[in-house]
Amino acid sequence: MNNPKPIWLVRHGQSTANLARHKAEAEKLLTIDYDEREMDIPLSEKGVEQSISVGRWFKFQKEKPTLIFVSPYLRTVETARLIAENAKFHSMEIVQDERLRERELGIFDRLTKLGAMQKFPEECEKREHFGKFYYRPHGGENWADVALRLRSFWRDLCLHHADEKVLIVTHEVVIRVFRYVIERLTEEEIMAVDRASDIENGAISSYNFEEGRNKFVLKLDNYLP
């Protein structure tokens, strides 16, 4: 099986729900206030600016994507569109794939950490016991579930797009789990990576496939242009 090379992973620009979450956490509220479905949350003004910056960064790179895959959620689609416009990727195909969607939170959806602890204390205890890689909230997904769909996506990418230079615009947990899959990390290793830092909105990660080592090597990690 051949491998696409290189690969860029970009987290969507800041969304209005990201702003609402920061506000709710700062004010110690139980719930996060926004009206849209998770799938329909748009970018904030800052998120638009971040997406434009990523596009302008790509415009001046020697290597550029030939194909873009994107989560079908509005904030990722908007980010991909703005990247393509500002990078001058004229007529480049942008393919939506539901396997790149955000991790589903189930009963914890729209709750702050404080809200989750007050409303579902037993579930929070389970989450602490099992760890977030394997704990699955009712109606939601754990990281292992995300890994299953990403392994399917990765297999299709290698089978059908090995000659492409691929840009993937998606979500924070998805990018973390991509690293788990691509680098063949253990649970302990990816959790250590996750504890070390958050992935910023509009941040770029990238991999090159090195033939001599027969592996993907991380080149950019959480890079803000």
Q: How far is CA 77 from the centre of its chain?
A: 12
Q: What is the pLDDT of residues 153-204, one digit of tens each?
A: 999 999 999 889 999 999 999 999 999 999 999 999 999 999 999 999 999 9
Reported as a single tens digit per residue, the pLDDT across 124-142 is 999 999 999 999 999 999 9
> What pLDDT does 67 receive?
96
Cα separation of 132 and 143, whole Å?
7
Q: Residue 49 pLDDT more than 60?
A: yes
**pLDDT given at position 27:** 97
Consecutive H or E run containing 215:
strand 215-223
Residue 2's pLDDT is what?
63
Average pLDDT value for the chain = 95
Phi, psi (rounded to 5 degrees) for 90: -65, 125
Q: Which residues pair with 96 in a beta bridge?
A: 70
Question: What count of Cα atoms within 13 Å lies in the side-chain half-sphere of residue 201?
Answer: 21
Question: For the whole model, what pTM was predicted?
Answer: 0.95
- Strands across the sheet containing 94-96: 94-96, 67-70, 166-170, 7-11, 204-210, 215-223
Q: Which DSSP string corresponds to 92-148?
A: --EEE-GGGSPPPBGGGTTB-HHHHHHH-HHHHHHHHHH-TTT---TTB--HHHHHH
Average pLDDT over residues 20-48: 97
Query: What tokens appear for 223 in the block?
Result: 């890079």
So what's the pLDDT on residue 1? Answer: 52
Q: Does position 101 have pLDDT exceeding 90, yes or no?
A: yes
